[in-house]
Amino acid sequence: MITSKKAIGGLSAFLLTATLILAGALFPARSWAVTSAPGVWDLMVFGNYDMVSPNTGSVNSSSSTPTWNNMMDNGYGAGLGVAYWFNDTIAFRFEVQGNFFSGAGTEKGTALESAPITGGFEAKLYGDTDYYLYALVDAGAAYELSLPNTSSPAMSATGQTNAWSSYGDVGLGLNLDYVFVEAKFAYLMDFLPKTAGQNALWYIPVTAGFNF
């Protein structure tokens, strides 16, 4: 009976030890894994809600009554990125994302996909290694694809029109340990309007995501 109890006790201790080791491996202590410090890498997984402003492409210079109505409805998207901290204040970041916009007004029934690929910088304005306010700027290129007769993402590699365009954004972010939120002002050269050349699409991406 005593031997049996000792065996059960030993088995319980073994299982408890194994559980603690496994938990430590799956959920390592965060005390050393700060979000921002010299040499730290962060993986970013995020989603966007894109608030569209009036598109300058809808201002037709040959018309006596130009309009500033939105050509696109608010959009949404997601992306991945990495950031490398040079020191306690400045980090370089590289991001790849995809965004979807559906047409509004006379462009109803069309859709636009864009895939910005950017490099940029974060500059910490206030806070510590895990909780801080920062400014950001990104610049790069975006692959754009227009999709006719649709009001939902098709995730297609081909469409009615496609082109590479310039892209840039600037904004503010708030990092709360694993979670971050950003509000940016973005510029995208929009080829969708049927006018000469490319016309700027201005929008405001509100981004929320996780740091790993």
Highest mean pLDDT among 2-6, 56-60, 166-170, 193-197: 166-170
**Which of 70-74, 110-114, 162-166 has the lowest average pLDDT?**
70-74
Give CA–CA dist 123/133, Å, rounded. 9
Pair 93, 178 in one domain: yes
Q: Which residues span the domain enclosing 207? A: 34-211
| pTM of the predicted structure, to 2 decimals | 0.74
CB contact burial 53-79 (16+ within 10 A = b; e otherwise): eebbbbeeeeeeeeeeebbbbebebeb
Pair 46, 27 in one domain: no
Pair 54, 18 in one domain: no
Q: For residue 164, what is the domain's CATH number? A: 2.40.160.20
Pair 104, 155 in one domain: yes
Count how many domains the chain has.
Answer: 2
The yes-or-no verdict on residue 194 having pLDDT over 50 is no
**Per-residue pLDDT tens for 77-131?**
999 999 999 999 999 999 999 998 887 766 677 778 889 999 999 999 999 999 9
Higher-scoring residue by pLDDT: 141, 154: 141
List, in order, residues 6 or more apart from 137 with CB less than 8 Å away.
120, 121, 168, 169, 170
The yes-or-no verdict on residue 24 having pLDDT over 80 is no
pLDDT at 165: 83
pLDDT at 53: 73
- Residue 66 confidence class, pLDDT cut points 50, 70, 90: very low
Pair 24, 104 in one domain: no
